[in-house]
Structure 1
Amino acid sequence: MVSWSDGSDSSEHTLEYMSSASDDGTIKVPASIEDSDFEGPETELHVLCHGHGKASERRVAFEGIHTGRRKSKRDRTEDNLMNYFDVHNLTQEKKKLQASYEKLVEDVNGLLDAQERRAEVERKDLESSKIQEKYDMVKNLAAAQANVIRNMKLKLAEERKNLQIHIDELQKTVEESNVKLEGIKAIING
């Protein structure tokens, strides 16, 4: 666990000064602590210090301008280049995904339009079938009425024929009666 120093750390791992090419020849090293949880490659490599020949330790600085690991300009350039390629690849993938999304939206809209057209056709078919049913009903009704009218005409024609026969018989009877009446008149007048 990291513990913060208050500046009066008397730990054997903290160095107070280090020589440098500055004006007075020394610079103050920022306070640091040992990272006991670190299990990375530095602890596996046994690098010896050139100054006193002891194994080097990993430390993290919390003060000053140089905190954390230092990278060379070449490493930063390579990292920037790799980051650029990552960003470029992600941008290309985003464009592909956007195109796929737009195609998907277009396909979904096409499906919805087709479904609406199909529903409209089904609605028209239903209306058409209802109209067809009504037409068939009216057609059947008209056919039934035509049959009734035809039967009535036939019946009327038969009755007319029968009536004509009766009329003819009555006229024949009237003529015979008139002939008899004329005979009776001739006998009476005669």
Structure 2
Amino acid sequence: MSPCEKHGMASERPVAFEGIDTGRMFLACAQPEGSNCGFVKWVDHQWPPTMQTALLKLWAMVEDAKSTRVNDNLESSFTIHHLTEEKNKLEANYDKLVQDSAITYQQEVRKELIDDMKAQMATEMAKKDAETQKLTQKYELLVNLTRAQATVIQNLKLNKMKEKQVLTEARMNLELKNAELTKCQEKLTQEKLELKLQVADLLKGKEKHIKRSGS
């Protein structure tokens, strides 16, 4: 193995991998980049022209494949970029849809709650109306009973007043009659006294007459 001419060290034996020299072995400086002296010496002979032409075609095909791959990668990049934008738009639309759906759901839930509250309030109002109607009927019944009782009491009072008036008039009549009877009794008593006096006078006159007749 030929050493590196500048460094006097053993050379590497890499294999070429480009152009018409693809596959040929050569010697090269083993120092790293920066210290490498650029020593190169071919070990294999140059390929025949047909081989070189074939290698050129192969490398042309490789370059075309690379170019196609690059174009495909660019198209893929554009497609990926477009799909990413579409994805972002879809995610934004999805987030907005979720937000709108959440708002709509909240509104629907709120509407259902309000409807339930309205239904409960309507039921309670119906119960209250029924109770109020019953109480009103009871109140009207009590009012009618009170009025009837008041009418009965008033009639009783009127009847009592009439009876009292009749009794008062009867009492007054009795008192008048009693007074008349008292007067009549006094008159009769007076007349009786007068009769007694007359009888006494008659008896006295009779006795006098008898005495006169006897003498």
When normalised by structure 1's length, the TM-score is: 0.61
Cα distance in structure 2, aligned partners of 1:151 and 1:118: 48
* RMSD of aligned residue pairs (Cα, Å): 3.6
Letter in 2 for 1:138: K
Q: What is residue 108 of structure 2 aligned with on the other side? A: 118
Cα distance in structure 2, aligned partners of 1:86 and 1:165: 112
Letter in 1 for 2:97: D
Tell me if 1:176 matches 2:166: yes
Letter in 2 for 1:188: N
1:110-189 matched pairs, under 5 angstroms = 110-189=100-179
Letter in 2 for 1:165: N
User: Which 4+ stretches in 1 moved above 6 angstroms?
Assistant: none
Letter in 2 for 1:158: A
Higher helix share: 2
Q: What is residue 187 of structure 2 aligned with on the other side? A: none
Is this contact kept in 1: 2:25–2:42, CA < 8 A? yes
Q: What is residue 97 of structure 1 aligned with on the other side? A: 87
Tell me if 1:26 matches 2:16: no
Cα gap change, 1:168 to 1:27, in 2 (>3 Å):
same
Cα distance in structure 2, aligned partners of 1:50 and 1:25: 19
Cα distance in structure 2, aligned partners of 1:163 and 1:172: 14
Cα gap change, 1:75 to 1:155, in 2 (>3 Å):
closer
Deviations 1:133-177 (A, max 9, x none): 112211211111111111111111112112222211111111111
Deviations 1:114-140 (A, max 9, x none): 111101010011111111211221121
Cα distance in structure 1, aligned partners of 2:172 and 2:64: 156
Deviations 1:49-106 (A, max 9, x none): 84899xx9xxxxxxxxxxxx96766654454333222212221122112212221221
Cα gap change, 1:93 to 1:167, in 2 (>3 Å):
same
> How many residue pairs align between the two structures?
142
Cα gap change, 1:136 to 1:16, in 2 (>3 Å):
closer
Cα distance in structure 1, aligned partners of 2:75 and 2:64: 16
Q: What is residue 106 of structure 1 aligned with on the other side? A: 96
Letter in 1 for 2:113: R
Q: What is residue 184 of structure 2 aligned with on the other side? A: none
Cα gap change, 1:80 to 1:181, in 2 (>3 Å):
same
Cα distance in structure 2, aligned partners of 1:98 and 1:16: 52
Which structure exhibits the higher relative contact order, with contacts defined as CA atoms closer than 8 Å and separated by 6 or more residues?
1
Cα gap change, 1:128 to 1:26, in 2 (>3 Å):
same
User: Which is greater in Rg?
Assistant: 2
